[in-house]
């Protein structure tokens, strides 16, 4: 086949530094849109973006030419700079992230999950959510290094 084709869906989650509630509700929709724009500029369009005051989730279609590490570096660096222009001077993201591949059959469920983050976190902490995601996706979590 002379043409290269791919559809690699990645569910990404990362929190603010020390999981501080540093994403004001007044800017969270704009932050989500900005994150989507960063992905689009990297040819990794966001299918869904959502989160709470201390973390975000994205579902992206990863481009063939972009690594997960490069995508996350750009998302975090550029959005952190943008947040500072919105008056959140001490804003920072955590160093790490979770990135999990999903199949096409899970697309709607993951989109719904991302869209309902605020309600979801009325019952579950970010740490418990990460633990559950790691169990679901078969990722070993070493908690000595997970919570900066």
* Confidence band for 86, pLDDT divided at 50, 70 and 90: very high
User: Range with the lowest mean pLDDT among 29-33, 39-43, 68-72, 116-120?
Assistant: 116-120
Query: 16 lies in a domain?
Result: yes
Quick one: pLDDT band at residue 68, thresholds 50, 70, 90?
very high
Domain range enclosing 39: 8-146
Taking CA 129 as the corner, what is the angle to CA 126 and CA 134, rounded to the nearest 5 degrees? 130
Give the total number of structural domains in the chain. Answer: 1
| The predicted structure's pLDDT at residue 1 | 61
Any idea what the CATH number is for the domain that residue 22 is in?
3.30.70.1290
Does some domain include residue 2? no
- pLDDT tier for residue 45 given thresholds of 50, 70 and 90: very high
Q: Is the pLDDT of residue 134 over 70?
A: yes
Residue 1 lies in a domain: no
pLDDT tens for each residue of 88-110: 988 999 999 999 999 999 999 99
Percent of the chain with pLDDT over 70: 98
Residue 3 maps to a domain: no
């Amino acid at each position: 086949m002379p043409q290269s084709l791919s559809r690699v869906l990645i569910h990404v989650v990362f929190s603010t530094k020390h999981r501080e509630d540093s994403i004001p509700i007044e800017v969270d929709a704009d932050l989500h849109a900005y994150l989507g724009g960063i992905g689009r500029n990297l040819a990794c369009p966001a299918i869904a973006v959502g989160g709470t005051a201390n973390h975000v989730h994205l579902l992206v279609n990863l481009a063939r030419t972009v690594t997960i590490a490069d995508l996350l570096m750009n998302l975090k660096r550029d959005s952190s700079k943008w947040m500072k222009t919105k008056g959140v001077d001490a804003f920072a993201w955590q160093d790490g992230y979770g990135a999990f591949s999903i199949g096409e059959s899970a697309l709607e469920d993951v989109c719904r999950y991302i869209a309902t983050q605020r309600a979801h976190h009325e019952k579950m902490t970010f740490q418990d959510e990460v633990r559950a995601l790691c169990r679901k996706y078969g990722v070993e979590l070493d908690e000595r290094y997970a919570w900066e």
